[in-house]
Structure 1
Amino acid sequence: MDRLFNEKDWRFIDQSFSARNRSPLESFGMDDTLCHLVGHEKSNPVIRTWVHDDAVVLGIQDHRLPFIEEGMSVLRNAGYEPIVRNSGGLAVVLDSGVLNISLVFAEKESVSIDVAFMRMVNFIKAIFPELEARIEAYEIVGSYCPGTYDLSVDGRKFAGISQRRMQNGIAVQIYLCIEGSGSERAELIRQFYEVSLKNEKTKFVYPRITPHVMASLQEIMSKKITVTEVNSRIQQRLLEWNGDLQFMPLQQEELELYSHYLTRIFKRNESLLSI
């Protein structure tokens, strides 16, 4: 395991329940805040778990689709609220069966993009020792938000990883499809792109979604595993590595900084959705 996990006192922020009925924009504001705090050595490194109900997080390129308004109507009609995130990547589904994890640490030494991604890959393998030998990291063609560090088992993707750097802090974020149907989530995004593109040619090549290449961990493991159980696994593993874990939400003096980043993100999202 990366020495990062053995030598640090980790701060744990559990928002797997408290964030569910709130906008995912709040989570992006939270991670920006944590990057600032950790990057300026005002906080220990952070592991944050978070869940949001029924939203589709769009990337900047998604917002440039020729019929984006019609595509967003597809999402809203299915009960999902579209938002635009402040980092790269493409459309991703969030719901109560998807657990998100953010690893936030300082860039004290030169940490390459690949090394930061691999920290998350190795962390997930440690959380699921029964799958460790079968989990692979490579782009799954036909998945939504495809990338080099897609995580899959037997060619079926269950997770995707993104990365954000600011204020000398690094936030590596992953979504884990744990409960429900991975292919049903992918079908929603397939319909979104179909309506948003209408076969028009664009400079940017959007993914052609083939839903069967995506699955949840319940489907892959053929057993009932829940978001709550995985959240507990994470805490247990950290305790095994470090012997202690700081359960510490944002403190009063940190909330002002959070308010600053959250306001900035909401304004940016509003301006993008109004274009």
Structure 2
Amino acid sequence: MNNIHTLLHPKTYRFIDQSGLGPGFSALQSFATDDALAISVGQGTSSTTARLWVHHNTIVLGIPDARLPYISEAVDYLKSEDYQVIVRNSGGLAVVLDEGVLNLSLIFPDSKEVNIHEGYEAMVVFIKHLFADLTNKIEAYEITQSYCPGTYDLSIDGRKFAGISQRRVKHGSAVQIYLDVSGNGEERARLLKNFYEIGKREEKTRFAYPNIDPSVMASMNELLGTKLSVADVRDRILYQLSDFSEKVVVQHLEGEEMNTFNKRFEQMIERNAKALERIE
């Protein structure tokens, strides 16, 4: 396992914790941050980086979601449920983020030389190690009736608690996972089930949107009978980073990274505004 996932064993991990920034912290800022980090890690000016982030009552739509026949009505429904809505300019489908969902980005170098599947597999190994004292039943395969289904969905006994995506920028790759730590997984899934039912109705679409069954999704606490908090998982991650490397350094964006972040953030605001204009 260690030979396959040498990505997880850098000499130094850089650690950035943005999990406590509160409701004013936008998911668009997160995507811009990961882009800036992927560039600096890929250039070798930053070590391999782990970043934690939480966003409050946010639905992140994928580009295909914005093409639903009745997307305007579907977005109005989400807003009526007190969720803000953004559209990311990448693949994937809608996900639910709230204060019980912890997001982890692992930013690796050498994306041009490393197979894309290795990034996904490294994250799977990381999460299995992270909760090895609680369960050995975590599996990675597509839970087809979940929201944002994908090959690297993480589940226990067929119920999904996490999904993984990957964004490659120049020579760096940001492997991102959302972990439903606490709260009700079925309620989150039901929110998006209603979203798709309102947005698609009985129309035939070229894109195959998920037929969500809320019962196939759950939080880790529901699956394991635990009382984990986001802060508990944050501490576990920090301990594991220390175990996998010689040193962990806390270092926020600085210098050229901030310039890159500002440019990327402006671009994402503009693209998101255009996507939402089309919806409205």
**Which TM bucket (shorter chain)?**
over 0.9
Whole-Å separation in 1 of the counterparts to 2:22 and 2:14? 18
Post-superposition shift, 1:73? 0.6
Whole-Å separation in 1 of the counterparts to 2:13 and 2:223? 30
Counterpart for residue 46 of structure 1: 49
Whole-Å separation in 2 of the counterparts to 1:161 and 1:223? 23
SS in 2 for 1:57: strand
Match of 2:121 among 118, 142, 159: 118
**For residues 20 and 102 of structure 1, do their structure 2 counterparts lie closer, same or farther at Cα, with a shift above 3 Å needed?**
farther
Match of 1:12 among 11, 15, 24: 15
What's the TM-score once normalised by structure 1's chain length? 0.97
- Give CA-to-partner distance per residue, 1:111-140, whole Å, 9 cap, x none: 112111001000111111135520100000
Size of the aligned set, in residue pairs, is: 275
SS in 2 for 1:10: strand
Post-superposition shift, 1:41? 1.4
Counterpart for residue 226 of structure 2: 223
- Give CA-to-partner distance per residue, 1:204-263, whole Å, 9 cap, x none: 110011000000001011110111000000001111222421011112442111101110
Post-superposition shift, 1:199? 1.3
Counterpart for residue 196 of structure 1: 199
Counterpart for residue 90 of structure 2: 87
Post-superposition shift, 1:177? 0.3
SS in 2 for 1:7: coil
AA aligned to 1:233 is R
Whole-Å separation in 1 of the counterparts to 2:134 and 2:208? 33
> Which shifted more, 195-204 or 253-262?
253-262
Counterpart for residue 206 of structure 1: 209
Is the 2:147–2:192 Cα contact (8 Å) retained in structure 1? yes
SS in 1 for 2:114: coil
AA aligned to 2:140 is A
SS in 2 for 1:173: strand
Whole-Å separation in 1 of the counterparts to 2:207 and 2:25? 31
- Give CA-to-partner distance per residue, 1:69-127, whole Å, 9 cap, x none: 10001110011111001211000000000000001111166211211100100011111
**Is the aligned partner of 1:23 residue 2:26?**
yes
Is the 1:143–1:214 Cα contact (8 Å) retained in structure 2? yes
**Is the aligned partner of 1:186 residue 2:189?**
yes
Match of 1:169 among 157, 172, 176: 172
Whole-Å separation in 2 of the counterparts to 1:122 and 1:20? 31
SS in 1 for 2:160: strand
AA aligned to 1:263 is E
- Give CA-to-partner distance per residue, 1:141-169, whole Å, 9 cap, x none: 21000000000000000000001111111
**Is the aligned partner of 1:72 residue 2:75?**
yes
**Is the aligned partner of 1:237 residue 2:240?**
yes
Whole-Å separation in 2 of the counterparts to 1:174 and 1:54? 17
Structure 2, unmatched stretches of 5+, are none
Post-superposition shift, 1:59? 0.3
